[in-house]
Amino acid sequence: MTTSFSSIGKKVRLGRILKNGRAVIFAFDHGFEHGPSDFPEGRESPRTIMELAVSAGFDAIMTTKGIARATHDLWAGRVPLILKVTGKTSIRPPEQQFLQYSIGSVEEAIAMGADGVAATVYWGSPQEELMAERFSSIVSICDSVGMPVMILSYPRGPEMSDWYNVETVRYACRASAELGADLIKTYYTGSAETFKKVVEVSPVPVLMSGGARAKEVIDFLRAVESVISAGGLGVVVGRNVFQSPNFVGLARAVISIVHKGARAEDAMSLARE
């Protein structure tokens, strides 16, 4: 059987994001999701953060179309773009916090030369079906044009007490794989033992979602090390890096754990604040 053109395209693009099968991706959609208060003083401009991200050596940058456009001269040709095509603001009413709507398209990702598309599904939300159906359509379109799709696979609903529960996270990741995601970004479940249970049910690469800035840098680096030892294939990180005074050092510490198998304690020498 001949190979389809689109499956070649997907392989080529995924190959630009994953280095030896692993990736450290910079998440930079917080201005939309949380608002500008997430950004430390002096880093309010998207160009300041993008310059740091490009120099840090991330494997890809996930951002929104407006930020991708405003900073394209910095990342284009240097770091692959993953266009985030769903979102929600934190200022919506509480009962509407469990739905991500469309904020971009696969066509726009192609137009900008992106190597991937990313979209969120809140598994267990009362609006789960809207997000899952939208994600399924995104997968179909991406499949026909050779574009990899990353899912932000987040258990989240008003009745759900523990978003990080291993059984719930592994269910969300399995459901994400069943929908056809190429990469899964999900919550860290607290240990290598539990994260292994997440990885083992997911037939596609699972990457840890960074989360709010850890109290101690070493705690974050240990979480990254646990994810890798559990068979996770990388990290998608935003706040832990861009809220650190040592942005580039911390990013390189994470990269050394993911790509060179460094121990968290050894990587700390790069990340000191």
**Shortest distance, position 29 Cβ to ligand FBP, whole Å:** 5
Residue 205 binds to ligand FBP (criterion: CB under 6 A): no
Measured CA to CA, the distance from residue 270 to residue 249 in angstroms comes to 5
Span near ligand FBP by CB under 6 A; candidates 47-55, 130-138, 203-211, 262-270: 203-211
Q: Residue 146 or 235: which CB sits closer to ligand FBP?
A: 235
Binding status of residue 59 toward ligand FBP by CB under 6 A:
no
Footprint on residues 123-182 left by ligand FBP (CB under 6 A): 152
Tokens for 217, please give them: 């840098």
Which are the contacts of 219, defined by CB distance < 8 A and separation ≥ 6? none
x-or-dash pattern for ligand FBP, window 24-43, by CB under 6 A? ---x-xx--x----------
Cβ neighbours of 245 (radius 10 Å): 9
**Among 210, 232, 234, 249, contact with ligand FBP (rule: CB under 6 A):** 210
Residue 260's CB is within 10 A of a number of other CB atoms, namely: 9
Q: In what helix (H) or strand (E) does residue 88 lie, and over which residues does it extend?
A: none
* Shortest CB 254 distance to ligand FBP, Å: 11
Q: Is 124 helix (H, G, I), strand (E, B) or coil?
A: coil
End-to-end Cα spacing for the chain: 55
Q: Looking only at residues 228 through 267 of this chain, which bind ligand FBP when binding is defined by CB under 6 A?
A: 237-240
Is 103 near ligand FBP (CB under 6 A)?
no
Active site residue 185: yes
Q: Answer yes or no whether residue 65 interacts with ligand FBP by CB under 6 A.
A: no
Determine the residue type at 189.
T
Q: Does the protein bind ligand FBP through residue 211 (CB under 6 A)?
A: yes
Q: Radius of gyration over alpha carbons of the chain, in Å?
A: 17
Residues ≥6 apart with Cβ < 8 Å to 14: 115, 116, 148, 182, 183
Which positions lie near ligand FBP, rule CB under 6 A? 27, 29-30, 33, 152, 209-211, 237-240
